[in-house]
Structure 1
Amino acid sequence: MEQIIPIKGKVSFPVTLDPGVWIFDDRRIDLDDFFSSPDQPERDEEEEYIKSTSKFWEKEIREGAVFPPTIKSEKKYEKEKVLTSTFGIPLSPFLKNAETLDDASEISFQKKNGTFSFPLTKAESLIMQFSLKGKPLRDDGPVHILFKNGSNRQNPVTHVTAIHIQ
């Protein structure tokens, strides 16, 4: 249970997060690529999901469900990437699902030794890192909190056990 992170406090729906399954989530971000580009464009996850789904269905209609040889090599590359890359996921979709109350103004990350607070208005700029070089963050995780601008990449918020909206 130490890998589970609850979002609680001033929310309509308390949410429980399991970082162990995010490796399969389409919203995941390859942090090495994300932080290596000088201008990280603002991503619209819903639009990206719609584009990838429509691309898939268009290919299914055009080619049928038979997998050409390139699909096999693409799958192999994806498996390799999952085993060697560092991944994160934006915090904002989870806060959206929890529906923060109107009078909420602060987000606190409860750690094993204290808390780290941040204005709720800035929560859009937070990423939860859940893996490092293909491995889960077991020693100082289950997640690290990073800023999208990369300013705390070398010194992230670690040992997060819960997220509390105040």
Structure 2
Amino acid sequence: MIVPITGKVSYSITLDPTVWIFDDRKILLEDAFIENERKNESNEWAKLGQRWDKEVGEEKPRTDSNHNISKREGEKILKNSYVIPIKEFVNKAEIHEDAKTAVLLTENNKEVELAIDELTNGYVQFALKGKPLKEDGPIYFLYRDGSNKENPIKHVKKIVIR
């Protein structure tokens, strides 16, 4: 149930989608593409805010740390389908400047080639109705625009940067 990111990266890393169910960065599958539209609309305001913070010299406190969840939240988590943006994980691997493509290795070593931007701007689905994707996972890949929401790339077992 782990997914390595290897190839033209400074750090080969291993993703463990089984722990993302309790990650604050997860997004409800049905909200992922709506949230993306909202982010695009507010992107200009966010840039202005970042510029202001830089000018003032103060950084905002981190809000991405995980917190304890209530029983009610836990029950809700175990009933929904979730995605998580892959960008932060890919950024931690530090893709080399000469890398051209990303390859998703799937079932039977089938290769699905993507542009680096398509990968970094995409989502990975790791839970369906609160359960890990054991039969056709460990993760699915979804394009940021939602164009393959009904037919995601399934059985993603490894990501190779070329």
TM-score w.r.t. the length of structure 2 is 0.78
For residue 29 of structure 1, report the CA deviation from its aligned partner. Answer: 1.1
When residues 49 and 15 of structure 1 are mapped into structure 2, their CA distance, relative to the original with a 3 A threshold, is farther
Q: Which runs of 4+ in 1 moved over 4 A?
A: none
Residue 126 of structure 1 is matched in structure 2 by: 122
When residues 152 and 40 of structure 1 are mapped into structure 2, their CA distance, relative to the original with a 3 A threshold, is farther
When residues 9 and 52 of structure 1 are mapped into structure 2, their CA distance, relative to the original with a 3 A threshold, is closer
Give the conservation status (yes or no) of the 8 Å contact 2:11–2:92: yes
The structure having more radius of gyration, on CA atoms, is 1
Residue 51 of structure 2 is matched in structure 1 by: none
SS at match of 1:23: helix
1:50 partnered with 2:93? no
For residue 40 of structure 1, report the CA deviation from its aligned partner. Answer: 3.8
Q: 1:7 aligns with which of 5, 9, 28?
A: 5
Instruction: Report sequence identity in percent.
Output: 40
1:83 partnered with 2:78? yes
Q: 1:152 aligns with which of 123, 148, 152?
A: 148
Q: 1:104 aligns with which of 99, 104, 111?
A: 99
For residue 77 of structure 1, report the CA deviation from its aligned partner. Answer: 2.7
Task: Output the CA distance in 1 between the equivalents of 2:2 and 2:159.
Answer: 11
When residues 165 and 52 of structure 1 are mapped into structure 2, their CA distance, relative to the original with a 3 A threshold, is closer
For residue 27 of structure 1, report the CA deviation from its aligned partner. Answer: 1.2
Task: Output the CA distance in 2 between the equivalents of 1:22 and 1:51.
Answer: 16
For residue 35 of structure 1, report the CA deviation from its aligned partner. Answer: 3.5
More divergent stretch after superposition (128-137 vs 18-27): 18-27
1:93-136 per-position Cα deviation (integer Å, ceiling 9, x unaligned): 11111001110010100011311111112323210000011111
Residue 162 of structure 1 is matched in structure 2 by: 158
> Amino acid of the residue matched to residue 50 of structure 1?
R
When residues 37 and 94 of structure 1 are mapped into structure 2, their CA distance, relative to the original with a 3 A threshold, is closer
SS at match of 1:159: strand
Residue 65 of structure 1 is matched in structure 2 by: none
When residues 38 and 19 of structure 1 are mapped into structure 2, their CA distance, relative to the original with a 3 A threshold, is closer
Give the conservation status (yes or no) of the 8 Å contact 1:109–1:117: yes
Residue 64 of structure 1 is matched in structure 2 by: none
